[in-house]
């Protein structure tokens, strides 16, 4: 049977976090809080006789992204009218870049397979600026339209068809989201629709160089929907080809309820949009000096940070990936490691990474908050991890301390003090407990003395239980062995 492989190219739309809209002075507002149609003017609603003006900040944000994606920046790019008629588009056209986009020919590195140390470069075809549309709110008998979003700066990032699995499509979209957040140009909040994905999917016989006929899945607004929809399309197209039927090129939507794709319309061609250079805007010139300034101001990007975390702190690729996906998390981790530099314990950066990515992340997820909203300062986390490392408290007590810190804040030391969580390490405090356990269990002791050596483990368990896990296991073991030896000697000298 012929084997087929998927080929995927993604178009990503990201609203830019500018103060004002792309071509007018209206504020960009959060749809969750703003009254509908409270931030509109004659320009973003397309009144005759008004003139658009290019938002410089939006261009700067677009440059940040384009440079971070290793693109070539066009000295001159041109805005065009993309004509189509839809109620959410008050002008009857959208201003977008078409023939001459702001940036082209970039790439981004992603992990190519789950658990694989290898990475692959996904080529970026183009990055261009456009404006968002308004928003339709459908009710049973009527629809309402909110133009607050109309004219919000929108960045479109188009990949080459380089993604060869659902996994890669997901990694790519996660990597882009992470990048946009690092660059502080987009919040990455998919639920609010500020970041949206469209997936172009085709399949072809494995090994073939030619591209198959694609379908385009519109408006995917969660990573889950993206993965599911792409997977569904791959299976559907593969089944068609297997039974000798052609794939028809069209646009489909993702039905979340039924978990299937549904045909929307046959694909428009560029000429359907009657693109024409926007007569009301001059060509956009970007000076080399400006590009240099933007490049120089770029922060350390996720991929660079990830490899630095691996070499500098000895983290695995996986751990480094987890800790660098979000800039605030990466900053938190580095602040923690920074405050641990005095420590002699060279594995502390690794230990901190573990406590952070398993225990603290768990608490953050549960409470649904971000790391910079947490009560647990990076310094407190380090002091807590150090206490576990040097044996002052057990790992189990460490988790308790973390939970209390997370809920109430405070210092780990005083939580240990207040709750009596310090381990009993000194022999003087452990010995009476050992003696008590031995005298409470005369039958087991007799068996032990008669030769059942394995019972010493059982005694150790009883001691740990009697101290509620606070005894330092090594110290408890030493005290128990000493006590049993004494008894043995007493017995054999009789
Ligand atoms: P449009 O959607 O406007 O027609 P393009 O033709 O440039 O734009 O393609 C858009 C996206 O589709 C790009 O991300 C590209 O990589 C991807 N793509 C194009 N052809 C295929 C194909 N045969 N299979 C999968 N993806 C494809
Ligand atoms: Mg498209
Ligand atoms: Zn406006």
Tokens of 208: 């073939």
Alpha helices in 111-208 (DSSP H): 166-182
What mean pLDDT do residues 469-493 have? 83
State the Cα–Cα distance between residues 164 and 166, nearest whole angstrom.
Answer: 7
Contacts of 135 (CB under 8 A, 6+ apart): 31, 88, 145, 146, 148, 149
State the Cα–Cα distance between residues 451 and 391, nearest whole angstrom.
Answer: 33
Is any ligand 1 atom within 6 A of the Cβ of residue 159? yes
What mean pLDDT do residues 440-461 have? 91
* pLDDT score recorded for residue 478: 87
Task: Confirm if 87 and 58 have CB atoms less than 8 A apart.
Answer: no
**Most distant pair of Cα atoms in the chain: their distance:** 114
According to DSSP, residue 372 is labeled G
Contacts of 362 (CB under 8 A, 6+ apart): none
According to DSSP, residue 183 is labeled T
State the Cα–Cα distance between residues 227 and 242, nearest whole angstrom.
Answer: 22
Site of tokens 């800039």: 327
Q: Pick the atom of ligand 1 nearest to 10's CA.
A: 14
pLDDT single digits (tens) 163-184: 999 999 999 999 999 999 999 9
Residues in the chain: 494
Is any ligand 1 atom within 6 A of the Cβ of residue 9? yes
pLDDT single digits (tens) 323-357: 999 999 999 999 999 988 877 788 899 999 999 99
Secondary structure (3-state) at 8:
strand
Taking all residues of the chain, what is their mean pLDDT, rounded to a whole number?
Answer: 93
Q: State yes or no: pLDDT of 292 exceeds 80.
A: yes
Task: Confirm if 364 and 318 have CB atoms less than 8 A apart.
Answer: no
Is any ligand 1 atom within 6 A of the Cβ of residue 104? no
Is any ligand 1 atom within 6 A of the Cβ of residue 202? yes
Q: Which of 161, 210, 211 to mutate to test the pocket of ligand 1 (most atoms within 8 A of CB)?
A: 161
According to DSSP, residue 360 is labeled I
Which of 31-45, 57-71, 83-97, 259-273 shows the lowest per-residue confidence on average (mean pLDDT)? 259-273
Is any ligand 1 atom within 6 A of the Cβ of residue 54? no
Is any ligand 1 atom within 6 A of the Cβ of residue 378? no
Q: Which of 6, 7, 9 to mutate to test the pocket of ligand 1 (most atoms within 8 A of CB)?
A: 9
State the Cα–Cα distance between residues 191 and 430, nearest whole angstrom.
Answer: 55
* pLDDT score recorded for residue 270: 67
Q: State yes or no: pLDDT of 443 exceeds 70.
A: yes
Distance (Å) from CA 335 to ligand 1 centroid: 43
Distance (Å) from CA 167 to ligand 2 centroid: 21
Which of 76-85, 131-140, 428-437 shows the lowest per-residue confidence on average (mean pLDDT)? 428-437
* pLDDT score recorded for residue 138: 93
* pLDDT score recorded for residue 235: 98
Q: State yes or no: pLDDT of 489 exceeds 90.
A: no
pLDDT single digits (tens) 391-413: 888 888 899 999 999 999 999 99
Is any ligand 1 atom within 6 A of the Cβ of residue 211? yes
Is any ligand 1 atom within 6 A of the Cβ of residue 101? no
Question: Residue 51: nearest ligand to its CA?
Answer: 3
Pairing of β 215-220 and β 195-205: antiparallel
Question: Residue 214: nearest ligand to its CA?
Answer: 1
pLDDT single digits (tens) 124-170: 999 999 999 999 999 999 999 999 999 999 999 999 999 999 999 99
Ranges of each domain in the chain: 4-295, 314-418, 427-493
State the Cα–Cα distance between residues 30 and 28, nearest whole angstrom.
Answer: 7
* pLDDT score recorded for residue 409: 92
From 2.60.120, 2.60.40, 1.10.3470, 1.10.10, which CATH number describes the 427-493 domain? 1.10.10
Distance (Å) from CA 268 to ligand 2 centroid: 9
Question: What pLDDT band is residue 201 in, cutting at 50, 70 and 90?
Answer: very high
Distance (Å) from CA 223 to ligand 2 centroid: 18
* pLDDT score recorded for residue 432: 86
State the Cα–Cα distance between residues 267 and 10, nearest whole angstrom.
Answer: 16
Protein residue closest via CA to atom 14 of ligand 1 = 9
State the Cα–Cα distance between residues 424 and 472, nearest whole angstrom.
Answer: 6
* pLDDT score recorded for residue 218: 94
Site of tokens 């593969």: 238
Is any ligand 1 atom within 6 A of the Cβ of residue 7? yes
pTM above 0.75, yes or no: yes
Question: What pLDDT band is residue 118 in, cutting at 50, 70 and 90?
Answer: confident
Question: Residue 198: nearest ligand to its CA?
Answer: 2
State the Cα–Cα distance between residues 458 and 473, nearest whole angstrom.
Answer: 13
Protein residue closest via CA to atom 11 of ligand 1 = 9
* pLDDT score recorded for residue 267: 61
Q: Which of 158, 209, 216 to mutate to test the pocket of ligand 1 (most atoms within 8 A of CB)?
A: 158
In a 10 Å sphere around its CB, with 0-12 CB exposed, 13-18 middle and 19+ buried, how is residue 377 labelled? Answer: middle
Contacts of 449 (CB under 8 A, 6+ apart): 487, 488, 491
Q: Pick the atom of ligand 1 nearest to 269's CA.
A: 4
In order of 168, 170, 245, 277, 285, the CA distances from 175 in angstroms are 10, 8, 36, 33, 29
Question: Residue 44: nearest ligand to its CA?
Answer: 3
| CA atoms 155, 156, 160, 163: torsion sign | positive
Is any ligand 1 atom within 6 A of the Cβ of residue 200? yes
Q: State yes or no: pLDDT of 313 exceeds 80.
A: yes
* pLDDT score recorded for residue 268: 65
Is any ligand 1 atom within 6 A of the Cβ of residue 214? yes
Task: Confirm if 406 and 366 have CB atoms less than 8 A apart.
Answer: no
What whole-number percentage of the chain has pLDDT above 70?
Answer: 98
Q: State yes or no: pLDDT of 10 exceeds 90.
A: yes
Q: State yes or no: pLDDT of 469 exceeds 80.
A: no
Pairing of β 119-131 and β 153-159: antiparallel
* pLDDT score recorded for residue 339: 87
Question: What pLDDT band is residue 105 in, cutting at 50, 70 and 90?
Answer: very high
Task: Confirm if 40 and 148 have CB atoms less than 8 A apart.
Answer: yes
- C-alpha closest to that of 223 among 188, 180, 253, 252: 188
Task: Confirm if 139 and 114 have CB atoms less than 8 A apart.
Answer: no
pLDDT single digits (tens) 33-64: 999 999 999 999 999 999 999 999 999 999 99
- C-alpha closest to that of 130 among 157, 153, 99, 158: 153
Distance (Å) from CA 76 to ligand 3 centroid: 25
Site of tokens 């007493």: 490
* pLDDT score recorded for residue 425: 66
Q: State yes or no: pLDDT of 114 exceeds 90.
A: no
Task: Confirm if 285 and 76 have CB atoms less than 8 A apart.
Answer: yes
Question: What pLDDT band is residue 427 in, cutting at 50, 70 and 90?
Answer: low
What whole-number percentage of the chain has pLDDT above 90?
Answer: 79
Is any ligand 1 atom within 6 A of the Cβ of residue 196? no
- C-alpha closest to that of 212 among 201, 221, 222: 201
Is any ligand 1 atom within 6 A of the Cβ of residue 447? no
Higher pLDDT, 392 or 117: 392
In a 10 Å sphere around its CB, with 0-12 CB exposed, 13-18 middle and 19+ buried, how is residue 378 labelled? Answer: buried
Q: Pick the atom of ligand 1 nearest to 212's CA.
A: 23
Q: Which of 162, 214, 226, 247 to mutate to test the pocket of ligand 1 (most atoms within 8 A of CB)?
A: 214
What mean pLDDT do residues 227-243 have? 97
* pLDDT score recorded for residue 396: 85
Q: Which of 125, 128, 200 to mutate to test the pocket of ligand 1 (most atoms within 8 A of CB)?
A: 200
């Amino acid at each position: 049977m012929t084997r087929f492989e998927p080929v995927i190219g993604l178009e990503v739309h990201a609203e830019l976090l500018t103060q004002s809209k792309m071509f007018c002075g209206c504020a960009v507002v959060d749809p969750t809080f703003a009254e509908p149609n409270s931030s509109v003017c004659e320009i973003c609603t397309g009144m005759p006789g008004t003139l658009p003006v290019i938002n410089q900040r939006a261009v700067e944000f677009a440059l940040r992204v384009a440079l971070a994606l290793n693109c070539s920046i066009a000295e001159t790019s041109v805005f065009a009218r993309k004509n189509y008629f839809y109620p959410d588009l008050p002008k009857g056209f959208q201003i977008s870049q078409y023939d001459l986009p702001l940036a082209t020919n970039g790439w981004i590195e992603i992990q190519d397979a789950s658990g694989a140390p290898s990475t692959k470069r996904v080529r970026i075809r183009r990055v261009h600026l456009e404006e968002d549309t308004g928003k339709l709110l459908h009710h049973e008998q009527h629809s309402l339209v909110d133009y607050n979003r109309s004219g919000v700066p929108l960045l479109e990032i188009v990949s080459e068809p380089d993604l060869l699995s659902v996994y890669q499509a997901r990694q790519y979209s996660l990597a882009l989201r992470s990048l946009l957040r690092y660059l502080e140009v987009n919040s990455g909040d998919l639920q609010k629709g500020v970041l949206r994905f469209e997936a172009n999917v085709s399949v072809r016989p494995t090994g073939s160089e030619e591209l198959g006929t694609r379908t385009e899945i519109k408006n995917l607004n969660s990573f889950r929907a993206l993965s599911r929809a792409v997977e569904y399309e791959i299976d559907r197209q593969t089944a068609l080809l297997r039974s000798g039927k052609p794939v028809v090129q069209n646009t489909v939507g993702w039905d979340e309820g039924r978990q299937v794709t549904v045909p929307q319309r046959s694909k428009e061609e560029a000429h359907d949009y009657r693109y024409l250079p926007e007569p009301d805007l001059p060509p956009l010139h970007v000076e080399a000096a400006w590009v240099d300034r933007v490049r120089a101001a770029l922060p350390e990007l996720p991929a660079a940070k990830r490899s630095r975390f691996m070499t500098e702190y000895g983290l695995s690729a996986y751990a480094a990936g987890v800790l660098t996906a979000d800039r605030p998390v990466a900053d938190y981790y580095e602040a923690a490691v920074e405050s641990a530099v005095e420590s002699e314990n060279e594995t502390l950066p690794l230990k901190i990474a573990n406590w952070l990515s398993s225990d603290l992340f768990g608490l953050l997820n549960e409470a649904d908050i971000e790391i910079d909203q947490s009560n647990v300062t990076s310094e407190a986390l380090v002091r807590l991890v150090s206490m576990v490392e040097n044996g002052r408290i057990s790992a189990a007590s460490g988790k308790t301390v973390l939970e209390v810190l997370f809920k109430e804040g405070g210092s780990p030391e005083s939580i240990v003090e207040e709750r009596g969580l310090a381990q009993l390490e000194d022999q003087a405090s452990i010995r009476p407990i050992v003696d008590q356990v031995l005298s409470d269990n005369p039958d087991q002791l007799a068996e032990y003395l008669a030769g059942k050596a394995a019972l010493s483990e059982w005694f150790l368990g009883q001691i740990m239980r009697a101290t509620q896990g606070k005894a330092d296991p090594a110290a408890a073991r030493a005290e128990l062995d000493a006590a049993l030896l004494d008894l043995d000697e007493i017995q054999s000298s009789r």
